[in-house]
Amino acid sequence: MIISNTLYIKNMVCPRCIKVVREELEKLGVKIKSIILGEVEVEQPKDELPLEKISKILGDNGFELIEDSKAKIIEKIKNEIISAIQQYEVIDLEKTNFSKLLNDTINKDYNYLSSLFSKTEGITIEHFIILQKIEKTKEFIKYGELTLSEIAYRLGYSSVQHLSRQFKSTTGMTASEFKESHANLRKSIDSIKSK
């Protein structure tokens, strides 16, 4: 029997999350081999780890230890999408085929991944990708450093009109209205599910 030495962690969505998880696990004496979004490979077998303490410390920091295999796949799908969109400067999102990316990185048929994601999350993978791109658009708009055309290009939209339509249908307001609003209407990346 092969004993896994990988912990799967929900809500790890950015480099700061990796830093927090690393620091908290090391405080508990966990020896880490590698750490990426959603996964921590440890030196010890999982059955030798203080899993209750790990689960509590992760929970205190907004994370969750995942034991269910389907939940692990869902979290991996989310992390791959989030990571690709956050790396817009090095990944050409217009040319990115997310179904191929997910198929290659998760080693499962995309139809299976798509079906599992839809059943579990209540939205399609494609809609989740749109929501992530719109959230990144909100971030760019709030910073005010890029035009909407530049944002559309960076996030892989075929045109500024395409981005504008998706933004309006997702948020209920135009990009200009969003920019003029003083409320913080952004969502944390790990909480994005639907409108």
Q: For 32-63, how does the pLDDT look when each residue is reduced to its tens digit (9 = 90+)? A: 999 998 899 999 888 888 989 999 999 999 99
**Averaged over 66-80, what is the pLDDT?**
90
Fold designation for 71-191: Arc Repressor Mutant, subunit A (1.10.10)
Fold designation for 6-67: Alpha-Beta Plaits (3.30.70)
Q: What pLDDT score was predicted for residue 195? A: 42
The torsion of the CA quartet 62, 155, 184, 36, rounded to 10 degrees, works out to: 10
3-state SS assignment for residue 13: coil
**Averaged over 117-140, what is the pLDDT?**
94
Average pLDDT, the chain: 88
- Give the whole-angstrom CA distance, residue 51 versus residue 66: 11
The answer, yes or no, to whether residue 86 has pLDDT greater than 50, is yes
- Give the whole-angstrom CA distance, residue 58 versus residue 49: 14
3-state SS assignment for residue 37: coil
Token pair for residue 55? 């689960």
- Residue reference for tokens 């989740």: 128
- Residue reference for tokens 């997910």: 102
pTM to 2 decimals? 0.74
Task: List the chain domain ranges.
Answer: 6-67, 71-191
Q: Using a pLDDT cut of 90, give the percent of the chain over it.
A: 64
